[in-house]
Structure 1
Amino acid sequence: MSDQDNPSADRREAAPLRPMPEDWRKALAVVAHPDDLEYGCSAAVAGWTDAGREVVYVLATRGEAGIDGLAPAVCGPLREREQRASAAVVGVGEVEFLGHEDGVVAYGTGLRRDVAAAIRRHRPELVITLNHRDTWGGATWNTPDHVAVGRAVLDAAADAGNRWIFPELAERGLEPWDGVRWVAVAGSPRPTHAVDARPGLERAVRSLLEHRTYIEALTGEEPEAYCRNLLTGGAGAAAGRFGGVPAVTFELFPR
């Protein structure tokens, strides 16, 4: 039965959003492409780093297939530079790239192993990813890379704590880490929790604007206006379920 045929889906979507947990010190964000976090949740990241929490970014690809007018060999390094600059705006100093091929990221044991290795390496309490569902809600289809990486992150949060899954990681010095307490999915069509976007919203706009080459290829709108309208509109749309406060939303999976 689809959500359209399921009355409980409407009740779930209308339910008030709960505040995200705050009793953690380190988060690892794992997404498919440069800009995924800037479109998804950088306002929340800015607030968290302001509060003294550590956030690390891991990207499956360099986004090298993302700009039609640029060959991948040129586009990949450019988008990597833009991502590092973008992360710095919201207080993230460590950005890693896993080297998967943009546009054809495949869900499977190889991707799960790479994400589990990152979790073991950084040992976070909170893991963040982007929407792993087929759509963004309604008829807007998600991309295969987002689906593959999001699913792999949800699975790898458990894989990272099991010494008998990917035992070769321990041989490389990456001991099991069973300390992940939550996986938070940004951009989910089924959000359950939220973070006040106001403290970090201006920096989120500047952070997205660092992806200027991609944005200029994507839209003819003036880049700053595009970034501001997109992020303030998204945060404002969540306010009705979060006490009138503009918010970044997450679907939270406790572990």
Structure 2
Amino acid sequence: MTEPQVSPLEPMPDDWRRALAVVAHPDDLEYGCSAAIAAWTDGGREVTYVLATRGEAGIDTLDPARCGPLREQEQQASAAVVGVSTVEFLNHQDGVIEYGVPLRRDIAAAIRRHRPELVITLNHRDTWGGVAWNTPDHVAVGRATLDAAGDAGNRWIFPELAAQGLQPWNGVRWVAVAGSSTPTHAVDATPGLERAIHSLLEHRTYIEVLTDEDPETYVRTFLTGTAQSLSPRFDGKPAVAFELFAR
């Protein structure tokens, strides 16, 4: 039998200067695409992180009042490893984020505030492909980010934002979805992979309750394996993949 053909991944666009990454939790970007972010910041591009929650419900053995500030600190340190200095939190409640107008408004405000050309988010579909079920927070934030990219440019949607000094921004050219089971584009992971490993390791409190493995072994195996699995579709190079929606 002939092997099924897999479509090649196209290189991500590189004619942009500012990106905004919007995800639900601390560590979402580190599991998904921080090797690409490291390469982008190395090239002089500006990347800002916006997180809907502080991940306060993510560790069973830690009360949310203690867990949230700890995970916020780990996220700040993690972002710094890959050249990101601005990390904002929208203060939605971890685990019960609701897709809807308030979430769209908060993300549209962030887009107007930072005026990116590229917006990055995480898989907004029900599964990771097959029967691996996604979490409601990822679905809500990913879907709201795709919608907010349009909301941010429409002066008649959320006019109260303009009254707060956040004028419409219709400059988003693409929304890139990490963790998609149907990616279309990719970035060479090689230049940023080592920093991506160290970036994810900053989430040590979370990782140590997630696995009994040595944290560095776990992180290195996971990120290297994911990047290498995409190499047949990206000219033999380990990659970070995205599903790219042009606007």
TM-score class, shorter-chain normalisation, is: over 0.9
Alignment counterpart, residue 222 of structure 1, candidates 214, 223, 226: 214
* AA of the residue aligned to 1:18: E
* AA of the residue aligned to 1:227: V
CA distance in 1, matches of 2:83, 2:222: 21
CA distance in 2, matches of 1:226, 1:119: 34
* AA of the residue aligned to 2:116: P
What is the aligned partner in structure 1 of residue 183 from structure 2?
191
Q: Deviations over 1:204-251 (max 9, x none)?
A: 000000000000011000000001000000000000100110000000
What is the aligned partner in structure 2 of residue 133 from structure 1?
125
1:149 paired with 2:116, answer no
Q: Deviations over 1:100-125 (max 9, x none)?
A: 00000000000000000000000000
What is the aligned partner in structure 1 of residue 90 from structure 2?
98
- How many residues matched? 244
Unaligned runs of 5+ in 2: none
1:58 paired with 2:50, answer yes
1:112 paired with 2:94, answer no
What is the aligned partner in structure 1 of residue 41 from structure 2?
49
What is the aligned partner in structure 2 of residue 39 from structure 1?
31
CA distance in 2, matches of 1:40, 1:182: 18
* AA of the residue aligned to 1:104: V
Q: Deviations over 1:13-66 (max 9, x none)?
A: x21000000000000000000000000000000000000000000000000000
> RMSD of the TM alignment (CA)?
0.7
* AA of the residue aligned to 1:84: Q
Unaligned runs of 5+ in 1: 1-9
CA distance in 2, matches of 1:219, 1:68: 13
For residues 204-219 of structure 1, what are the structure 2 equivalents within 5 Å? 204-219=196-211
CA distance in 1, matches of 2:54, 2:212: 23
What is the aligned partner in structure 1 of residue 160 from structure 2?
168
Alignment counterpart, residue 80 of structure 1, candidates 72, 75, 82: 72
Q: How far did 1:181 drift?
A: 0.1
Identity of aligned residues (%): 77
